[in-house]
């Protein structure tokens, strides 16, 4: 590991040289390689996370280029995951970056996240997040939830000792009820902010430090930031009752 590459990071008292060694020994799984996922994967690679897996089933579209930073016009029609992998290998050739173009389902998710130090949410739908949440709770893997639509976003780090996503959202909302980028749009600065907060929490996990214990809600247009304390629900289907992959529509 070249000391120069991460010199501005090891100067931080929060990280230091020992912290950098922990980051270099860590494995991160990025689920989804859209607006949040491209920013998150880029930051993780630049920070020197030793092993990164990028998971996404989609191909690059023209409308993605407004906010998804690892793609260009020449990549339209190409798989997002492998395109991001190629780009990030040019950014950092001394870490291990892999990708897979696959659906994240109950029958595949555990194989994808098993052995991860931390999982980072780059998805755009709650059903996939529920699947990721259940797998991480079941396997005892920390993960960081993030969402971004319109001008507002949310971030919540989920650790084995704390509340999980289903403590906040007990059941899946009906299809079409939640706003999406396809229905209400998104300002392109928002994913940068949300993904940066997600990666900061992920780095804390890698370093063995306490994560932020609140749900962060940010509106970049109005400059608002809220913190909401979330309590673990003993009756939560996931972290309380350990009923995994059984969701009520």
Three-class secondary structure of residue 18 per DSSP: helix
Residue-level pLDDT at 35? 97
Share of the chain above pLDDT 90, in %: 93
Cα–Cα dist 180/242, whole Å: 29
The per-residue pLDDT for range 178-210, each reduced to its tens digit, is 888 888 999 999 999 999 999 999 999 999 999
Mean pLDDT of the chain: 96
Contact 41, 30 (CB under 8 A): yes
Residue-level pLDDT at 182? 87
Using 50, 70 and 90 to split pLDDT, how confident is the model at 248? low
CB count in 10 Å sphere of residue 174: 8
| Helix boundaries (H) for the chain | 7-10, 16-24, 35-47, 80-91, 109-113, 126-139, 165-168, 181-184, 190-207
User: What is the CATH T-level fold of the domain 7-229, as seen in this structure?
Assistant: Rossmann fold (3.40.50)
> In the structure encoding, which two tokens stand for residue 190, read together?
């928002």
Cα–Cα dist 27/184, whole Å: 34
Residue-level pLDDT at 165? 97
Q: Is pLDDT at 239 greater than 80 in this prediction?
A: yes
Active site residues: 181
Cα–Cα dist 53/82, whole Å: 10
Share of the chain above pLDDT 70, in %: 99
Q: pTM to 2 decimals?
A: 0.96
Q: Is pLDDT at 97 greater than 90 in this prediction?
A: yes
Cα–Cα dist 175/151, whole Å: 22
Residue-level pLDDT at 1? 62
Using 50, 70 and 90 to split pLDDT, how confident is the model at 19? very high
CB count in 10 Å sphere of residue 181: 19
Using 50, 70 and 90 to split pLDDT, how confident is the model at 23? very high
Q: Is pLDDT at 41 greater than 70 in this prediction?
A: yes
Cα–Cα dist 19/130, whole Å: 31
From 2-11, 41-50, 102-111, 155-164, the region with the lowest mean pLDDT:
2-11
């Amino acid at each position: 590991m070249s000391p120069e590459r991460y010199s501005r990071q090891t100067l931080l008292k929060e990280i230091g040289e020992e912290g950098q060694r922990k980051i270099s020994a860590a494995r991160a799984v990025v689920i989804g390689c859209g607006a949040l996922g491209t920013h998150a994967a880029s930051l993780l690679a630049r920070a020197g996370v030793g092993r990164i897996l990028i998971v996404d089933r989609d191909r690059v579209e023209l409308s993605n280029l407004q906010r998804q930073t690892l793609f260009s016009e020449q990549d339209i029609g190409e798989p997002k995951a492998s395109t991001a992998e190629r780009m990030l290998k040019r950014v950092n050739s001394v870490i291990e970056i892999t990708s897979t173009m696959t659906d994240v389902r109950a029958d595949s998710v555990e194989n994808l996240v098993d052995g991860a130090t931390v999982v980072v949410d780059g998805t755009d739908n709650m059903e996939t997040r529920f699947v990721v949440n259940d797998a991480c709770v079941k396997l005892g893997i920390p993960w960081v939830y993030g969402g971004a639509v319109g001008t507002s976003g949310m971030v919540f780090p989920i650790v084995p000792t704390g509340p999980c996503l289903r403590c906040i959202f007990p059941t899946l909302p009906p299809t079409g009820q939640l706003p999406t980028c396809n229905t209400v749009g998104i300002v392109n600065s928002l994913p940068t902010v949300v993904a940066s907060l997600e990666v900061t929490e992920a780095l804390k996990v890698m370093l063995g430090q306490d994560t932020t214990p609140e749900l962060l809600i940010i509106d970049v247009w109005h400059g608002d930031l809220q913190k909401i304390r979330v309590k673990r629900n003993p009756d939560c289907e996931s972290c309380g009752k350990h009923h995994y992959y059984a969701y009520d529509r």
